[in-house]
Chains A and B, each alone.
Chain A
Amino acid sequence: GAVVSQHPSWVICKSGTSVKIECRSLDFQATTMFWYRQFPKQSLMLMATSNEGSKATYEQGVEKDKFLINHASLTLSTLTVTSAHPEDSSFYICSARDAGLAGSEQYFGPGTRLTVT
């Protein structure tokens, strides 16, 4: 149990286009999902906290208009990178917390590698 999927696993897009990344909890309901960014050989940096049915909470320094997050259901959150540029190239990871369990454990998706050319 506790599986989180991400789609796509990798994507290449041209500068100026938008890319949508999906994060799904497959066998549990997630009232809260998190989006992280990870540069090569670095740690995970939290970008935003996504709550089902409400607006996402962004971390300081993360552009809300550039990284659009939607959490429309208890099993799906999406991250849209708008007007992508080469500096947005990175590894994006989502995680989800099981609404039915106490204890703060987050289950991570396998990540999405974004390359902007």
Chain B
Amino acid sequence: AQTVTQSQPEMSVQEAETVTLSCTYDTSENNYYLFWYKQPPSRQMILVIRQEAYKQQNATENRFSVNFQKAAKSFSLKISDSQLGDTAMYFCAFSEIQGAQKLVFGQGTRLTINP
């Protein structure tokens, strides 16, 4: 069974700083998807970024980028020029490509951006 581990329960940075959230996972699959989801205080889950394992290029979405290390099974999220609105819980998630494509979530990292 796949597992996802986020080792940082909480992080706090100043506005405009760069912050990196860590995520490691375990799977025997060669192809799969990895995601970062954001859950603000409203509790609405929002997709931040997605990475296909068969793509070597790291995904980027504006201020958000990932460092995908397939061999190390590591998938970190970098937030540049952090903003107050980035304050949220961040969940790393894994999905197989075949079958039901269920999401397996990590424990989450509570990120606080301070003014």
Binding site for B on A (CB under 8 A): 32, 34, 38, 41-44, 46, 49, 57, 91, 93, 95, 97, 103-106, 108, 110-111
Question: In residues 31-88 of chain B, which contact A (Cβ within 8 Å)?
Answer: 33, 35, 37, 42-47, 50, 52
Closest Cβ of chain A: how far from B75's Cβ, in Å?
Answer: 15
Alpha-carbon separation in the docked complex, A103 to B98 (Å): 10
Q: Are B43 and A110 in contact (CB under 8 A)?
A: yes
- Could you tell me if A95 and B102 are in contact, using CB atoms closer than 8 angstroms? no
Cβ contact within 8 Å between A108 and B45: yes
A97 to B96: give the CA distance in the assembly, Å.
Answer: 14
Evaluate whether A91 and B100 lie within 8 angstroms (CB atoms) in the complex, with A43-B91, A104-B33, A105-B50 already known: no
Q: Which residues of A contact B106 (CB under 8 A)?
A: 43
Closest CB in chain A relative to B99 CB, distance in Å: 10
Q: Which 9 pairs, one residue from A and one from B, show the smallest C-beta to C-beta distance?
A: A108-B45, A104-B101, A104-B95, A43-B105, A104-B33, A49-B100, A110-B44, A43-B108, A44-B105
The answer to whether A103 and B33 have CB atoms under 8 Å apart is: yes
Is B16 in contact with chain A by the CB < 8 A criterion? Answer: no
A103 surroundings in chain B (CB, below 8 A): 33, 50, 52
